[in-house]
Amino acid sequence: MIRRFPKKKAISVTILMVSIFCYVGVKVPPELFWPASVLGYIIPLVIALNLIFLALYVLLKKKLFWYHIIALIFLSPFILMSYRIGNTSQPEVKESFKVLSLNAKLFRKPGSYEEFSSEMIDWFMDESSDIKCIQEFSYNPGYQRISIISKMQEKGYHHFNYELNLINRPGLAIFSRHPILYAGVIDDRDSTNVNKCIYADININADTVRIYNVHLRSMHIDLSDYSEMRSLGRKAFLLTKKLGRGARKRSKQIDDLITHANASPYPVIICGDFNEIPYSYNYFEMRSFYQNAFEEKGEGFGFTFNSDILPIRIDHQFYGSGINLMSFRTNRNITWSDHFPLQGVYSLEGPLHL
């Protein structure tokens, strides 16, 4: 027993130290020390280990459980933002407006970039949201089936879209039932990349709201790329390096986005595919200025990436002062894309709008 006890204590101390490193890691900018950004991906595992050892040592009446209580105190911010119990939605009012956000994967069929998905296109055009923010948007006016812009205009939507090129017109788009007063692109000086941020000033009930549609730098992780590698260490190194490189690039994009949004003369809603998990410096940067819709009125884990292998939440809706969130949901019934759609119902704050 004497020899086993130090081993158990060493395990508990190690888990505690890793928990503290994870807590500190989200405070370190990726451009300063990129390996810290990778710690966020193991936080769910670290939380699970602490809960298991806590339960075990409580049952065994071992004082080692205190190490895991301390660890869980450090991890508590991540626990609280990971899961939402119940639904605190407010009833919709006349002046409320719905905002949809979806990475549409160029409206292609699941598992393919060769064929368009008629089901997704039909759902998108019939969906009832007042404002629709689409990442990986694609259309082709030469083909009636996918001439999405003209069909949305027939349904009464105004639009603004950014196109990377004229081949299959990949990019981002904002559609709005309300008039678009002004729109633009936040230029990250990389004209060859589809990962951009666009915005539109939209007139709603005699007021103006600025809507941002973002698609930040992709992770570019294909799990099949690692299946042929025999060396586990080599796999981990390449994956870690790729995650760190993506975090650094997104950090610059988020800095530009926050600077732009903070200068807005109107209340803002920022939504899209951030490619950022909640346990990251970049996510916490957004969270320090704006409220996250899932954390306020979401339900369950809210995973947005359509994968059984990698259940993560990387699509988000944030909103600033002057905006009231009434309800929020992740629609996991829509499975044609590799991302699930998000819908937030908002209203403008103030006595005239409540």
Task: Please tell me the predicted confidence (pLDDT) of residue 352.
Answer: 41
Side by side, which strands form the sheet with 323-330?
158-163, 171-176, 131-137, 97-103, 342-348, 323-330
Q: Which residues contact 120 (CB under 8 A, 6 or more apart)?
A: 104, 107, 334, 336, 337
- Give me the mean pLDDT over the 239-267 stretch: 93
pLDDT of residue 192: 61
pLDDT in tens, 275-298: 999 999 999 999 999 999 999 999
Residue 147 has pLDDT above 90, yes or no: no
Whether the predicted pLDDT of 190 surpasses 90: no
pLDDT digits 0-9 by tens, 97-134: 999 999 999 888 877 777 888 899 999 999 999 999 99
User: What local confidence, expressed as pLDDT, does residue 112 receive?
Assistant: 73
In the CATH scheme, what is the homologous superfamily, with its name and number, of domain 97-348? Endonuclease/exonuclease/phosphatase (3.60.10.10)
Structure tokens at 120: 């997704």
pLDDT at res. 91: 72
Closest CA to 101 of 350, 339, 319: 339
Q: Which of 3-7, 216-220, 222-226, 298-302 has the lowest mean pLDDT?
A: 222-226
Looking up tokens 């994956």 gives: 239
> Which amino acid makes up residue 185?
V
Number of helices and strands in the chain (H, E): 9, 12
Please name the amino acid found at residue 81.
Answer: M
- Asked if pLDDT for residue 353 goes beyond 60, the answer is no
pLDDT at 139: 78
In sequence order, what DSSP letters do the residues of 125-187 get, joined into one string? HH---SEEEEEEE---TTSGGG-HHHHHHHTT-EEEEEES-SSS--EEEEEESS-EEEEEEE-
Domain boundaries, the chain: 4-82, 97-348
Average pLDDT over residues 168-172: 78
Query: How crowded is the C-beta side of 164, counted as CA atoms within 13 Å?
Result: 19
> Across the chain, what does the average pLDDT equal?
89
Which residue's structure tokens are 């809603």? Answer: 269
Q: Give the amino acid at 281.
A: Y
Contact 150, 141 (CB under 8 A): yes
The answer, yes or no, to whether residue 64 has pLDDT greater than 70, is yes
Q: Which of 40-49, 166-175, 197-206, 313-322 has the lowest mean pLDDT?
A: 166-175
Q: What is the pLDDT of residue 223?
A: 56
Token duo for residue 51? 């809960």
Given a contact cutoff of 8 angstroms between Cβ atoms, the answer to whether 318 and 99 are in contact is no
Report the alpha-carbon distance of residue 257 to residue 315 in Å, rounded.
Answer: 16
Predicted pLDDT at 237: 76
For 222, phi then psi, to 5°, come to: -115, 110
pLDDT-based confidence at residue 166 (cuts at 50, 70, 90): low
In this prediction, residue 351 has a pLDDT band, given cuts at 50, 70 and 90, of very low
